[in-house]
Chains A and B, each alone.
Chain A
Amino acid sequence: MNHLTLLAEGSKIGNPAVNIGIFVAFVIVTLVIVIRVGRRNTNAAEFFTGGHAFSGPQNGIAIAGDYLSAASFLGIAGAIAVYGYDGFLYSIGFLVAWLVALLLVAELLRNTGKYTMADVLSFRLKQKPVRLAAATSTMTVSLFYLLAQMAGAGGLVALLLDIQGRAAQSLVIAVVGVLMIVYVLIGGMTGTTWVQIIKAVLLITGAAVMTILVLAKFGLNFSHILGSAQNMVQEATTKGVSSRDVLAPGAQYGGSTTSKINLLSLGLALVLGTAGLPHVLMRFYTVPTAKEARRSVVWAIGLIGAFYLFTLVLGYGAAALVGPDKILAAPGGQNSAAPLLAFQLGGTILLGIISAVAFATILAVVAGLTITASASFAHDVYASVMKNHKVTEDEQVRVSRITAVVLGIAAIGLGILANGQNVAFLVALAFAVAASANLPTIVYSLYWKRFNTRGALWSMYGGLISCLVLIIFSPAVSGTKTSMIPGAHFDWFPLANPGIVSIPLAFILGIVGTLTSSDAGDPELNAEMEVRSLTGVGAEKATHH
């Protein structure tokens, strides 16, 4: 999370040629794999879900790859290094959120749907309007998430590859976009999943190695790391840093009551957003059964939990070993904490590996988002709403491929425009939209028999629109010097994160919409959905590779 607004100035660290070399090696290896598995992309089930044929552990690693974005790695480690405890709060929300996915959503979704989130939401409701609403929110969430990653890529490049000019950074964003299009077009879901798996293994291994090195420097005594971190912060000369208590909450969100409520709002969006993120939900279709979906979430929770524990050590380790002054002065500010720590611990080579992994992370996450958004457009909007289901599955794949190219080009353009923007707000917005527009309808349609079309539409559009409107009028967009439009003042909504208003609103709208409509649904479809979701009768089967 946090500010990936990187400034292209200041001291450079390590050797950009090594960083680029390791990154190119990653691209070549993943491209070879994607091309090899891409030959199997012969039908829609293969292209959209990898033929439902991944195992639980494989999918769990891929979920971790999808979820642990560069923002997680660089942002959280950096926030802990500079603000201490408040950075840790983020990672807890991101982790606990997986219990919602495990207990309430993953298995029932796998049993009921086929390719997209809308399959489940529209199962027993009116197909066209519900699919359109679900596709709209899928594409909104994916676009914000995509933008955040692309905008971050430009800044990351400045830091890691020492590419300073705006034009050169734009070129790198374009390269990321083109690579992403290639991965999705050739590899489909199978190729994308393998990219996620490779990236997750590299990222988690890299973080684990660094954690061991940090712990070894302090004689495996975590309390000692904390003490050194606090000492370095107290000795810092950067304005406002030395007075911080980085071992307790409050350094970032401690000030006014508004900022405390902001923290609650963010916490709510994080914990309820994950199980509504379309690219996470779509991953549950890549496994053959509900039991494998369960295993994949268990693997994901284990890996993501371990990774966040590593970032805790890395964040405080960076504060203790590198120091907040040096971190804040580096190009990239607090996001450079993890790379600087890598340089301190293992010199040019470790820095090169960590930098390449961070960059690969962006590439993999972007590919996952693109396939989700393009599948939703092809399957929900084109096939269902526009063509009344009178299209073949091959046609859906073709439309999805075209959509991926269009999205890729749009993401390149928007990413170049958004280069240097505050990425935190884009990612937080994606979570807030997912928690408001998607999660209430997912939970209601799986657990509430009476729930009907009006409830779904009110909840989805109400959540989506309230979320977007509140963000536009929040300090994230205007009013402060870190806003998107620093000069203007239309920030009448005080919170940077709308979750605390829009999420309860969407839940309430779902109830009110349902109860004010006499539509009780089709009892046979209701029974079918409930029986299928709980037993797995008639669920999509794996295809053979």
Chain B
Amino acid sequence: MPSIDIPPRETQPSGAQYLAVQASPEFQELRRTLRRFVFPTTAFFLIWYASYVLLGAFAHDFMAIKVWGNINVGLLLGLGQFLTTFIITGLYVRFANRELDPRAEKIRNEMHWSQQ
């Protein structure tokens, strides 16, 4: 342990154990599952947000096109940012509950047993 900030617990896994867990297929699968969701989703919402800000900065006429009453393209795209944020939040929670939590819990339990 590098410091006393991380207090000693009754059964502290050793460095060798962490290396073994890190190399295990279960852990590699958890890591892959997480990254396969998180990285593309992050890329998607950052690009979508950047496109929106670019349109807001440089395409005023396009954003001002009226769609319905006084509601224009800019407002719809802005509300679209809200909508995608809420949808991505929902999708991530469903994904994490189904795919990440059970895998993480299994590895936690195995590490716990192997120390007993």
Seen from chain A, the residues whose Cβ lies within 8 Å of a Cβ on chain B are 85-86, 88-89, 92-93, 95-96, 98-100, 102-104, 107, 114, 119, 122-123, 127, 221-224, 226-227, 230, 245, 247-250, 253-254, 260-261, 263-264, 267, 271, 290-291, 294, 297-298, 301-302, 305, 308-309, 379, 383-384, 389-390, 447, 523-525, 527-528, 530-532, 534-538
Find out whether the CB atom of B57 lies under 8 angstroms from the CB atom of A524: no
A335: min CB distance to chain B, Å:
22
In the assembled complex, which residues on chain B have CB atoms less than 8 Å from the CB atom of A222? 71
A-B CB contact pairs (8 Å), 17 listed: A85-B75, A96-B45, A99-B42, A99-B85, A102-B89, A107-B96, A221-B69, A223-B70, A226-B75, A248-B64, A260-B58, A263-B56, A264-B53, A379-B5, A525-B2, A530-B22, A536-B104
> Can you name the residue of chain A whose Cβ is closest to the Cβ of B11?
A538
- The interface residues of chain B lying within 8 Å CB-to-CB of A447 are 35
Min CB distance B13 to A, Å, is: 7
Closest CB of chain A to B86's CB: distance in Å? 6
Main secondary structure of the interface of A (DSSP, over half): helix
Interface bin, chain B: 35 or more
- B57→A309 contact, CB < 8 A: no
**Set of chain A residues within 8 Å of B16, measured between Cβ atoms:** 524
Cβ-defined contact, A309 with B82, below 8 A? yes
> Out of A92, A226, A538, which one reaches B12, CB within 8 Å?
A538
> A447 vs B31: C-alpha distance in the bound complex, in angstroms?
10
Query: For B19, what are the chain A residues with a Cβ–Cβ distance below 8 Å?
Result: 523-524, 527
B68, A534: Cβ atoms closer than 8 Å: no
Secondary structure class of chain B's binding surface, majority of residues: helix
Can you list, as one digit per residue, whether each of B92-115 has a CB less than 8 Å from chain A (1) or not (0)?
110010000100100110010000
**A130–chain B nearest beta-carbon distance, Å:** 11
Q: In the bound complex, what is the Cα–Cα distance between A383 and B4 (angstroms)?
A: 10
Contact of B57 among A104, A249, A525 (CB under 8 A): A249
Nearest A residue to B73 via CB reads A248
Nearest neighbor of B27 in chain A, beta-carbon distance: A531
A267 and B108 within 8 A (CB)? no
Interchain residue pairs A-B with the least CB separation, the first 10 = A524-B15, A223-B69, A248-B64, A226-B70, A267-B53, A527-B22, A527-B18, A260-B57, A250-B60, A528-B18
How many pairs of A and B residues are in contact by the CB < 8 Å rule? 172
The answer to whether A254 and B92 touch across the interface, beta carbons within 8 angstroms, is: no
Q: Which residues of B contact A267 (CB under 8 A)?
A: 49-50, 53
Please determine whether B2 and A298 come into contact, CB atoms closer than 8 angstroms: no
- Given the known interface contacts A245-B64, A527-B18, A535-B107, the answer about A384 and B3 at a Cβ–Cβ threshold of 8 Å is yes
Q: Can you name the residue of chain A whose Cβ is closest to the Cβ of B66?
A: A247
A305 touches B86 (CB 8 A): yes
Closest CB-CB distance, A315 to chain B, in whole Å? 12
Q: How far is B38's CA from A260's CA once the two chains are assembled, in angstroms?
A: 31
Q: Which of A95, A297, A537 is the one whose CB lies under 8 Å from B82?
A: A95
Q: With the chains together, A304 CA to B66 CA distance in Å? A: 28
Contacts of A224 in B (CB 8 A): 69-70
Asked if residues A248 and B63 are in contact (CB atoms below 8 Å), the reply is yes
Using known A-B contacts A260-B58, A264-B57, determine if residue A249 contacts B96 with beta carbons closer than 8 Å: no
* Inter-chain contacts of A102 with B (CB < 8 A): 89, 92
List chain A residues, Cβ under 8 A from B27: 531, 534-535
- Residues in chain B near residue A89, CB distance under 8 A: 53, 56, 78
Residues on the A chain within 8 Å of B69, using CB: 221, 223-224, 226-227
Q: Which residues of B contact A525 (CB under 8 A)?
A: 2, 15
Query: Hey, which chain B residues are within 8 Å of A227, CB to CB?
Result: 69-70
* Interchain nearest-CB distance for B80 vs A (Å): 10
Give the nearest-CB partner of A290 in chain B. Answer: B104
Q: Which residues of B lie under 8 Å from residue A290 when comparing CB positions? A: 104
Across the interface, B74 reaches (CB within 8 A) one of A85, A254, A308, A527, namely A85
Tell me the nearest residue of chain B to A221, going by C-beta.
B69
Q: Smallest CB–CB gap between B98 and chain A, Å?
A: 13
Contact A253 B12, beta carbon cutoff 8 Å:
no
For the complex, is B36 an interface residue (Cβ under 8 Å from A)? no
Are A301 and B89 neighbours in the complex by a CB distance under 8 Å? yes
Q: Is the CB of B108 within 8 A of A271?
A: no
Neighbour of B107 across the interface among A127, A245, A537, CB < 8 A: A537
Per the bound structure, the CA–CA distance linking A536 and B96 in Å amounts to 14
Instruction: From known contacts A525-B2, A527-B22, infer whether A538 and B71 are also in contact, taking CB-CB under 8 Å.
Output: no
Nearest A residue to B90 by beta-carbon distance?
A298
Apart from A301-B85, A389-B5, 14 more pairs, CB < 8 Å = A85-B56, A93-B53, A96-B45, A103-B92, A107-B96, A247-B74, A249-B56, A260-B57, A294-B93, A294-B96, A301-B89, A525-B2, A534-B31, A535-B107
